[in-house]
Amino acid sequence: MSLEGLQPHQNIQNLMLTNYGGVKLSGWLLSLTNLVELTLKDCAKCEYLVPLNQFKCLKHLKLERLICLEYISNTNSVSEDLVGSTTTLLPSLETLELLDLPNLKGWWREIEVDHSCFDANANANEDNHTSLPYYLPSLSKLTIRDCPKLTCMPLYPRLEGKLQLNKTSWKPLEETLRMRMMYLTTPSFSPLSKLERLYLTDIDDLECLPDSFKSLACLSRFHIDGCPKLKDLCPGILHLSSLRRLWISRCERLGDMLISDDYDSMWQALNVTLQSLGLCKLPNIVTVLPRGIQHLTSLQQLEVFKCDSLTTIPEWINNLKSLKSLWLYDCPNLTSFPEGIRSLTTLNLLYIDSCPMLLKRCKRNTGEDWDKISHIEDLTLIPDANKEEENEGCNLLNKFRLRNTRNEG
């Protein structure tokens, strides 16, 4: 009743509603037709939203921790949310954030899907569509995090900046990539052809990167983290002709593919553009780094984090003629550097942290591998036995700064 009595001005453009305890939102929300930005957060009992088709000017929508919300649209049918007779909705929406919505299942409660809008040549079975032939025409940035039940939503073929999917289903992205070209207003337009950054984290139903990745012509940064069923980056990764940074973490079944000699062609294809490669928590990488990395002669940065089984940096590292920085963190069994590291004349940054066996050999002036790395301009060893007092002072300073930051917060 308190919220119903507020009645904000009809021309309001920005509304944030936090910790509202009702099941339904107030009716006056429908009158805010000039709304540009809407945020609903921590509305623990909210089960129903107002029909979003009223908001023709809405550019930014954020829904966070609405734990009872199952469907975003409260309309009786899909047609009520569409713009005219087209298949587009929320025509001005540019950014959409769906965060921590544990019971969200989809956009509409009941839908009918026209399978003719999808590419019949795609790998997936056409009878398994769970997304919609309706799309958000202006959406350029999408973040979905901790929405494990969400498998059905409008497609988003025109994203330009960043797509971040975390603890949600792979299916809406898969079907966005499979949209027929003829279905879009511009016949020559490919879905997600302008997407620049893609982050896939804790996606349980992703098994391989499909051929439909050929649409991702502008993708420059690709992070894959915690996808337990992912076992193959091909054929999709072969089409990423603009990829500059690749980060792979916590994908246990992917390890066998990375170390296989059968995938040399994949590494060679990546060599054209790839500048930065990160590998983290990949238990199948045993003893040495994947041999295919030696083909990445354009690589400028290599990061290896938390690979417990890694024991050796191979001699072929001297093939990485463009390498500028090498980061090694928490690889406890890494023992030594090869002679080949001496010939990396472009290497000007080496960071070694929590690699006790390697650090012992890299001890300044006296370590067995010190002469191999002493020429590197920016050298960080943690802990550095020769700088124990300095390290202790830095730690005390960092603790002091952290305490002050917390007090200010």
Three-state secondary structure of 15-83: EEEECCCCCECCHHHHHCCCCCEEEEECCCCCCECCCHHHCCCCCEEEEECCCCCCECCCCCCHHHHCC
**Could you tell me which of 232, 241, 191 has the C-alpha nearest to residue 212?**
191
- Is residue 86 scored above 70 in pLDDT? no
- Give the pLDDT of residue 187: 58
Task: Give the pLDDT band (50/70/90) at residue 111.
Answer: low
- Is residue 76 scored above 60 in pLDDT? no
Asked whether 327 and 300 are in contact (CB, 8 A), the reply is no
Higher pLDDT, 290 or 132: 290
Q: Average of pLDDT values for 315-325?
A: 95
Higher pLDDT, 283 or 371: 371
- Is residue 57 scored above 50 in pLDDT? yes
- Give the pLDDT of residue 352: 95
- Give the pLDDT of residue 186: 56
Give the lowest-confidence range in 3-12, 128-137, 158-167, 335-344.
128-137
Task: Give the pLDDT band (50/70/90) at residue 14.
Answer: very high
- Give the pLDDT of residue 110: 64
Say whether 285 sits in a helix, a strand or coil: coil
Task: Give Cα separations from 167 to 193, 279, 305, 336 (angstroms).
Answer: 24, 21, 22, 38
Which residues lie across from 351 on neighbouring strands?
327, 380
Sign of CA dihedral 371, 375, 376, 380: positive
Asked whether 282 and 308 are in contact (CB, 8 A), the reply is no
Q: Average of pLDDT values for 74-95?
A: 69
Mean model confidence pLDDT for the chain: 84
Higher pLDDT, 264 or 16: 16
- Is residue 193 scored above 80 in pLDDT? yes
Return the DSSP state at 249: E
Asked whether 287 and 311 are in contact (CB, 8 A), the reply is yes
> What's the full length of the chain, in residues?
409
Q: What is the pLDDT of residues 117-155, one digit of tens each?
A: 445 444 444 434 444 557 888 999 999 999 999 988 888
Query: What's the token pair of residue 396?
Result: 């005390």
Task: Give the pLDDT band (50/70/90) at residue 189.
Answer: confident
Cis previous bond, 235, omega within 30:
yes
Which residues lie across from 162 on neighbouring strands?
141, 197
Give the lowest-confidence range in 183-192, 242-251, 287-296, 304-313.
183-192
Asked whether 268 and 290 are in contact (CB, 8 A), the reply is no
Please state whether beta strands 14-18 and 37-41 pair in parallel, antiparallel, or not at all (unpaired): parallel
Task: Give the pLDDT band (50/70/90) at residue 407.
Answer: very low
Radius of gyration for the chain, computed over Cα atoms and rounded to the nearest angstrom: 25
Which residues lie across from 223 on neighbouring strands?
199, 247
- Is residue 53 scored above 90 in pLDDT? no
Say whether 244 sits in a helix, a strand or coil: coil
Asked whether 130 and 170 are in contact (CB, 8 A), the reply is no
- Give the pLDDT of residue 26: 84
- Give the pLDDT of residue 405: 43
Higher pLDDT, 215 or 405: 215
Phi–psi pair at 230, nearest 5 degrees: -70, 120
Give the lowest-confidence range in 61-70, 80-89, 100-109.
80-89
Asked whether 89 and 83 are in contact (CB, 8 A), the reply is yes
Give the lowest-confidence range in 18-27, 239-248, 369-378, 380-389.
380-389
- Give the pLDDT of residue 206: 94
Own/partner long-range contacts of 234-238 (Cβ < 8 Å, ≥24 apart): 234/208, 234/209, 234/263, 234/266, 235/209, 235/210, 235/211, 236/208, 236/209, 236/210, 236/211, 236/212, 237/209, 237/213, 237/266, 237/269, 237/270, 238/265, 238/266, 238/269
- Is residue 185 scored above 90 in pLDDT? no
Sign of CA dihedral 117, 122, 125, 128: negative
- Give the pLDDT of residue 161: 87
- Give the pLDDT of residue 388: 56
Cis previous bond, 383, omega within 30:
yes
Task: Give Cα separations from 9 to 14, 29, 32 (angstroms).
Answer: 11, 10, 8
- Is residue 208 scored above 70 in pLDDT? yes
Higher pLDDT, 404 or 354: 354
- Give the pLDDT of residue 116: 46
- Give the pLDDT of residue 101: 96
